[in-house]
Chain A
Amino acid sequence: MALTSTPNGTTVDKTTVLSSGARAGIDTADLKPGLADPVHESQTLFRHLLDAMARPGRAVDLETALDAPTPLDPATAAVVLTLCDYDTPLWIDWIADTPPVRSYCRFHCGSALVERPDEAAFALVSDAENMPRLGLFAQGIDQYPDRSATLVVQLPDLEGGPERVLKGPGIATQAVLRAGGLPDWFWNDWRLNAAQFPLGVDIFFTSGRRIVGLPRTVLVEG
Chain B
Amino acid sequence: MTMRSENGAGVGAPAEGAGLESLPGSGSPPGGVPAEAVQAERQRWMSVLAKAQLSELEQAWDQVEERPAFQWLRPPEIGMVMVRARSGGTGGQFNLGQMTVTRCALRVDSGATGLGYVQGRSKRHAELAAIFDALLQDGGRRAVLDEEVIRPLAAAYDRRRDERSRKANSTKVNFFTLVRGEND
Are the chains A and B members of one assembly? Answer: yes
Contact A108 B18 (CB under 8 A): yes
A-B pair count, CB < 8 Å, reads 60
For chain B, the bracket of interface size reads: 20 to 34
**Chain A: CB-nearest residue to B106:** A33
Contact of A33 among B22, B26, B71, B111 (CB under 8 A): B71
CA gap between A38 and B27 in the complex, in Å: 25
- Contact between chains at A25 and B77 (CB < 8 Å): no
Instruction: Tell me whether A109 is interfacial, beta carbon within 8 Å.
Output: yes
User: A37 and B75: CB pair below 8 A?
Assistant: yes
One digit per residue, 1 when the CB lies within 8 angstroms of any chain B CB and 0 when it does not, for chain A 1-31 equals: 0000000000000000000000111111101
How many chain A residues touch B (Cβ–Cβ < 8 Å)? 21
- Check if A110 is an interface residue, CB within 8 A of chain B: yes
Whether B72 contacts A25 by the Cβ 8 Å rule is: no
Q: Chain B: which residue is nearest A39 at the CB level?
A: B77
**CB pair B21 A34 closer than 8 Å:** no
**B18-A28 in contact (CB<8A):** no
Check B19–A110 contact: CB distance below 8 A: yes
**Considering the complex of A and B, which 4 residue pairs feature the smallest CB-CB distances, nearest first?**
A110-B18, A29-B27, A110-B19, A28-B113
Enumerate 18 A-B pairs (CB-CB under 8 Å) in ascending A order. A23-B22, A25-B25, A28-B24, A28-B27, A28-B73, A28-B113, A31-B105, A31-B107, A31-B113, A33-B71, A33-B107, A34-B73, A38-B75, A86-B19, A107-B74, A108-B18, A110-B19, A110-B21
**Residues of A in contact with B (beta carbons under 8 Å apart):** 23-29, 31-34, 36-38, 85-86, 106-110
